[in-house]
Amino acid sequence: MAATRPQRAQEAPAPYAGRSRRSEGEEPNHPASPFLKWAGGKSQLLTRFATFYPPAGQVERFIEPFVGGGAVFFHVKHVLRPKRCWLFDRNDELITTYKSLQNDLPAVLELLARHKSLHNEDHYYEVRAQRPETLSEAARAARFIYLNKTCYNGLYRVNSRNEFNVPMGRYVRPGVYDTRNLEAVRACLRGVKLETREFAHVLKVARAGDFIYFDPPYDPVSGSASFTSYTAHSFSREDQEALAEVYGALGARGCHVMLSNSDTPFVRRLYRAFDVHQVPARRAINTRADRRGPVAELVVLNYRPPRASKR
């Protein structure tokens, strides 16, 4: 067991004053970006993804059933400016965090400042041991962000009891949060519908003309390459097949559907009737450094994009 580190005297964090700097209805002067480390995040691919999007001005509604770290959502909101957005995920802690940033950012920032000022090994494991269901929404969000930004390798993982079980990372000065970006995130989330849902719920809200992006847990490229532990339930091949059925049903409804997944024979078979594009990516989150690096991914479209070339 690690030795207890002595606590340093800490000044109370200053109250958040963001509301006095910017009115609630005013947009920030910079786009929002992901505030979490998330395996499979798409920030590096956004320039390429822009060539896959439907034409600007033709997207009134955007739906993302596996929102994760939100890189594509933030980008679509900035580039295509849809009038309405729906974000789903089966991870309730993640959706609670988005809702809290949307509704009570000052409270979240004050709690994050406290976590940052108290950060050491004892504090990390004390926070990790907390039961989220006993906390306020703002406290759940601050806990989620703090653990995500200070845990080992930025990995979010839960066990079969849905308990976060990643050890503390060895960061000298972890960047727990960026106030300016969180303000932009709050503005980006204004009016967005956020729900803890399974991906099939999209069939209840989607209509012709909607732009829908799926970024599910990936089909493993090898027996040891799978990572689906964002919730206590894994994402199986049967789930992948069910997702492909939902994908096809949305196309029949007249939706524009884009999907990311790993480049495996199984995925190519599932989507062989659609437009399949291969894109190079890099994986930055893995417990083994030798497994981080270049990898091929697939982007599947049920429409002809204005600028993309097929491979």
Residue 22: pLDDT over 90: no
For residue 193, the model assigns a pLDDT of 98
Give the CATH H-level superfamily of domain 104-180: Adenine-specific Methyltransferase, Domain 2 (1.10.1020.10)
Decide which of 171 and 84 is more confident: 84
Q: What is the DSSP letter of 121?
A: H
**Which pTM does this prediction carry?**
0.86
Look at the chain and count its residues.
311
The encoded tokens of residue 265 equal 């024979």
Mean of the per-residue pLDDT values of the chain: 87
Chain Cα centroid distance, residue 271? 24
For residue 299, the model assigns a pLDDT of 98
- How many alpha carbons fall within 13 Å on the CB side of residue 11? 3
**Across 22-31, 71-80, 101-110, 126-135, least confident range:** 22-31
Beta bridge partners of 278: 298
For residue 248, the model assigns a pLDDT of 98
* Residue 10: strand, helix, or coil: coil
Q: What is the DSSP letter of 26?
A: P
Neighbour tally for 272: CB within 10 Å? 9
For residue 40, the model assigns a pLDDT of 80
Q: Where do the domains of the chain lie?
A: 35-90+197-311, 104-180
**What digits encode the pLDDT tens for the residues 51-63?**
999 998 889 999 9
For residue 311, the model assigns a pLDDT of 53
Can you list the positions of beta strands (E) in 68-214?
A: 84-89, 193-196, 211-214
Decide which of 40 and 152 is more confident: 152
Q: Write the CB contacts of 29 (distance below 8 Å, at least 6 apart in sequence).
A: none
Residues 262/231, Cβ–Cβ less than 8 Å: no
Q: Provide mean pLDDT across the span 230-258.
A: 91
For residue 232, the model assigns a pLDDT of 52
**What digits encode the pLDDT tens for the residues 257-297?**
999 999 999 999 999 999 999 999 876 555 454 455 678 89
Helices (H) and strands (E) in the chain, counts: 11, 7
**What digits encode the pLDDT tens for the residues 149-198?**
999 988 888 888 889 999 999 988 899 999 999 999 999 999 999 999 99
Cα of first residue to Cα of last residue in the chain, in angstroms, is 52
Residues 143/133, Cβ–Cβ less than 8 Å: no
Neighbour tally for 80: CB within 10 Å? 18
Q: Write the CB contacts of 51 (distance below 8 Å, at least 6 apart in sequence).
A: 305, 306, 307, 308
Nearest CA among 276, 278, 274 for reference residue 251: 274
Decide which of 220 and 14 is more confident: 220
For residue 225, the model assigns a pLDDT of 52
CATH class of 35-90+197-311: alpha beta
CA distance 291 to 69: 21
CA distance 227 to 207: 32
Q: Where are the alpha helices (DSSP H) in 212-309?
A: 237-252, 265-270
